[in-house]
Amino acid sequence: MILEQPLPATALLSRHVAPGAYTDCFCTEIEGRRTHAEFVEAFYTTPLFKLERLILRLALARPSTDAEARQLARGERDQFAAWTVEARSEHQLLLADMAGRTRSWLMTEAVAAGGRTRLYFGSAVLPRRDAQTGRDSLGWAFTALLGFHRLYLRALLAAARTGLGG
């Protein structure tokens, strides 16, 4: 089951919670202890995410490989496809897209009871100043696609959970 919840207090993505910005946080649990590196690798090598990687390669000339996903997961790489590492810690990874408007965040947390691992995935979309109104705005395109965005994030997290055997 994929649940939406508030960001944990320690989330690296919290730095992007601000008026006018959009942030979300989804989580799920799996049996067994999984490392953060295993989660990141599983996330970026699922068939669903490979489709996104193909689109990025064709549309933006930003190719990526499973080997690069493994390097990102192990902390050996700071760029992957259209993203750059903004911050990382032992159990978290925060990536910024090449335009600097969106963030992707992954986190793992050991669940005290039962030897389970909680997997988190969230995103942020930062507003930009509308030239006509002078106000910060997420833009009509993001607003129109928000429902799809939320479904897609859930699907990505579910695919990663499946990739980890959950």
pLDDT of residue 138: 79
pLDDT of residue 47: 96
Residues in the chain: 166
Q: How far is Cα 162 from Cα 23, in angstroms, rounded to an integer?
A: 24
CA dihedral over 121, 109, 88, 53, signed as positive or negative: negative
pLDDT of residue 132: 78
Which residue(s) pair with 29 in the sheet? 118
Q: How far is Cα 104 from Cα 98, in angstroms, rounded to an integer?
A: 12
Amino acid at position 66, single letter = D
* 8 A C-beta contact, residue 160 and residue 121: yes
pLDDT along the chain (166 residues), means of 10: 96 94 96 96 96 94 96 97 97 95 96 90 90 77 86 97 92
pLDDT of residue 134: 73
* 8 A C-beta contact, residue 23 and residue 16: yes
- Domains, the chain, ordered by start: 3-163 (3.30.530)
pTM (predicted TM-score)? 0.92
